[in-house]
Amino acid sequence: MNVNCSKSFVVVVLSVISSFLAHGQENIAGVRWNPFVNHKKTTQLPLARTTAHTLTLPFFEDFTGASIYPDSARWTDFQVFVNNTMGSNMISKGVATFDCLNSIGIPYDSFSNTTFRYADSLTSQPIDLSAVVPSDSLYLSFFYQPQGNGYYPLGQDSLQLYLKTRYGGFVKIWTTPGTTLTPFRQVMIPITDTLFLHGDFQFRFVNIAALYWSDANWNIDYIRLNTNRSATDTAIDDVGFTSSPGSLLNDYTSMPYRQFYGYQAAERSAQFVGKARNNSAASQTINYGIKARDLNTGSTLLPPTGSASILAPRTSVDVVFPNYTTAITPPGANDRVVFENTFYMDAPVAGSPTDNDTIVTHQVFDNYLAYDDGSAEKSYYLNLFPTLPGKIAVEYHLNQPDTLRGMAIYFGRQIPFAGYKAFSLIVYSELAGINGAMSDIKLYQQDLYSPGYADTVNHFWIYTFDEPLVLPAGTFYAGTMQPAESGSDSLYIGLDVNRVGGNHAYFNVLSSWSPSLVSGALMMRPILGGQVTGTLVNELKTTNSGWQVYPNPATDKIQFTDLGDAKPDYFITDIQGHKILSGILSGSKSVDISSLTPGIYFVNITAGGVTGAPQKLIKL
């Protein structure tokens, strides 16, 4: 092969490899954590539902209530998550989501990720069927969907239905294996065996979940149990909302009011767009509208404003509501402002459920910038090369100068726990190769932190900066850096998959920035304005590990202590995560650092294949 041909071949191969590797560095996974439910365990967790409430026919449930738990009037347990975000193209507003998380929102097994087990269950209150006979044509029907907006259940997973016999036991009568996303499907179950026709009848949904790398999400909706039905009785005479209309804002979902007021023309969306579905077999005319008020003062922002539309049978359509301007002036520049938007429609089908005819949302203006809606359906993470750091940066804009005080981050829980993983917070004014920038311009960096899982109202972990950063109007980028050789790869960050539009995110795993190809919003929020308090002080200090280095600061040599008889590998990286020194510790367990230039470095060790949390080292 001639030299020129050989060089061309090498260039092509390296280009292909680089492209392949870059594409493979972004990954998504399940959230493995539900802070909405976790927070309720100390605030509103229901008491054990041991008191039976015997029900009579008909039984109906479409999960449109305000609670994240199933209604205790109909259900005996509370392991599933009732929500309006996990379903895809729902039958009506609200679904019950089955996953691998228990009633307080954490994994059933927090230490093993290779287990198959029974996970969530949903059991009805007792239903009196003592007067029902086989000729009454009793049917139980429901809609189910694998994955939805979450993570798909593996083939070994399954969703199952059990019926309670007159002798007290439960018998499995239906099951379906896990698969990737499909539309909601209706199941019709005839109940004719007298074994089930008794006064203490119950039915129970259960999912078997593979805890390996999936959250095994299933959604259930629109459950009906009644007599005088048939296998063809699949029609639903109901019209309702299936998803919430979007934000009042054009791009952000939340921002400080001072960054909005005076800039409404650019920041306000043209209109609200929601989705409604006509589940009936005939066209339906709906009258729908919106009204809005300021929650702080109670003043009207938009009086009831209505419109009408014709919905074809069994179709979902976008419904458009007008947006509005505001002249509200808060008492202080940093005050929180909340607008309440009520979207409503009439009930065109007589006798149909009405809970799904109204949606109430809150437009929050607070001390942060957000692209997400506050709920994570999946997790986002980077696969790192061992010798290179991994960086994530999200683009934000300011309409006027402001002060950056820290970052709020929503982390996805991992198995095993990821509390030992380390990252730095970095703020840039420019990223090399992005929007015409020639190089990175770093404005601030703070080291090192570990992920936190906040049991708070808004579920984000707040990291405060030691020094506030004053930013001009315009664009800035904020995100994380995971050091090389630190065991910090695959750090899960919450991903809101309901985000519409660009995700504004960039990643760097091969020493260059690339636009993210993952749809959704990374749940990282810059905190602006006045003084803020961190969720907890969880910066990684040298005392957090069993081993230590001294002296620190150091000039020529450092000494490792508390290693026992171990002879681990050591490595020292610079502030960007690049490896500077490495070797095996033995004998005196000291390392010569005289060749390093003065500055901040990170020291870590690997023993028995396990890498610990890095420790900060100051070289004088």
- d(C-alpha 128, C-alpha 53), whole Å: 10
Same domain, 60 and 79: yes
Look up the CATH number of the domain holding residue 156: 2.60.120.260
Task: Indicate the Cα dihedral angle 565, 567, 568, 571, nearest 10°.
Answer: 120
- d(C-alpha 206, C-alpha 48), whole Å: 18
Q: Counting every residue, how long is the chain?
A: 620
**Strand-pair partners of 270:** none
Contact in structure between 611 and 486 (CB atoms under 8 Å)? yes
Look up the CATH number of the domain holding residue 515: 2.60.120
Using the CB atoms, write b or e for 215-229: b if 16+ within 10 Å: bbbbbbbbbbbbbeb
**Helix or strand or coil: residue 114?**
coil
Number of domains present in the structure of the chain: 4
Structure tokens that stand for 93 in this block: 């507003």
Same domain, 169 and 275: no
Average pLDDT in the chain: 85
Same domain, 360 and 392: no
Same domain, 353 and 289: yes
* 508 belongs to a structural domain: yes
Same domain, 65 and 192: yes
* 231 belongs to a structural domain: no
Look up the CATH number of the domain holding residue 578: 2.60.40.3080
- The sheet with strand 461-471 has its strands ordered as 461-471, 402-409, 524-528
* 34 belongs to a structural domain: no
* 163 belongs to a structural domain: yes
CA angle (131, 132, 134) in 5-degree steps = 145
Can you give the pLDDT at residue 199? 96
DSSP 10-77: HHHHHHHHHHHHHHTTEEEE-----HHHHHHTTTTPPPP--S---B-S-EEE---SSSSS--TTTBS-
Of the residues 226, 250, 275, the one at which a domain ends: 226
CA angle (246, 247, 253) in 5-degree steps = 125
Of the residues 226, 248, 279, the one at which a domain ends: 226
Can you give the pLDDT at residue 46? 47
**Helix or strand or coil: residue 6?**
helix
* 537 belongs to a structural domain: no
- Amino acid, single-letter form, for residue 478: A
Which residues lie closer than 8 Å to 2 by C-beta, 6 or more apart? none
Look up the CATH number of the domain holding residue 244: 2.60.40
Can you give the pLDDT at residue 350? 79
Same domain, 354 and 280: yes
Which residues lie closer than 8 Å to 598 by C-beta, 6 or more apart? 619, 620
Can you give the pLDDT at residue 31? 66
Taking residue 301's Cβ as centre, other Cβ atoms within 10 Å add up to 19
Contact in structure between 227 and 190 (CB atoms under 8 Å)? no
The helix (H) or strand (E) run that includes residue 257 is helix 257-260
Same domain, 319 and 377: no
* 232 belongs to a structural domain: no
Contact in structure between 239 and 348 (CB atoms under 8 Å)? yes
- Full residue range of the structural domain in which residue 99 is found: 42-226
Same domain, 503 and 548: no
Q: Which of 359, 360, 432, 427 is nearest to 398 (CA)?
A: 427
Taking residue 91's Cβ as centre, other Cβ atoms within 10 Å add up to 25
Which residues lie closer than 8 Å to 610 by C-beta, 6 or more apart? 487
Same domain, 377 and 339: no
DSSP 466-512: EEEEEE-SEEEEEEEEEPTTSS--S--EEEETT--S---EEEESSSS
Same domain, 459 and 513: yes
Calculate the CA 18 to chain-centre distance: 30
Residue ranges in the chain whose pLDDT is less than 70: 1-24, 31-52, 66, 103-106, 109-115, 211-215, 415-417, 419-420, 454-458, 536-546, 564-566, 575-577, 608-613
Can you give the pLDDT at residue 52? 64
- d(C-alpha 73, C-alpha 431), whole Å: 55
* 234 belongs to a structural domain: no
Same domain, 94 and 213: yes
User: What is each CA distance from 482 to 386, 442, 463, in whole angstroms?
Assistant: 11, 16, 16
Q: Which of 534, 537, 530 is nearest to 366 (CA)?
A: 530
- d(C-alpha 257, C-alpha 328), whole Å: 10
**Helix or strand or coil: residue 166?**
coil
Same domain, 482 and 521: yes
User: What is each CA distance from 123 to 71, 76, 126, 162, 455, in whole angstroms?
Assistant: 11, 6, 9, 9, 27
Can you give the pLDDT at residue 24? 65
Contact in structure between 294 and 301 (CB atoms under 8 Å)? yes
Contact in structure between 522 and 477 (CB atoms under 8 Å)? no
- d(C-alpha 332, C-alpha 532), whole Å: 16
Backbone angles phi, psi at 235, to 5 degrees: -70, 145
Q: What is the pTM of this model?
A: 0.76
Using the CB atoms, write b or e for 410-442: b if 16+ within 10 Å: bbbbbbeebebbbbbbbbbebbebbeeeeebeb
* 24 belongs to a structural domain: yes
Of the residues 486, 501, 528, the one at which a domain ends: 528
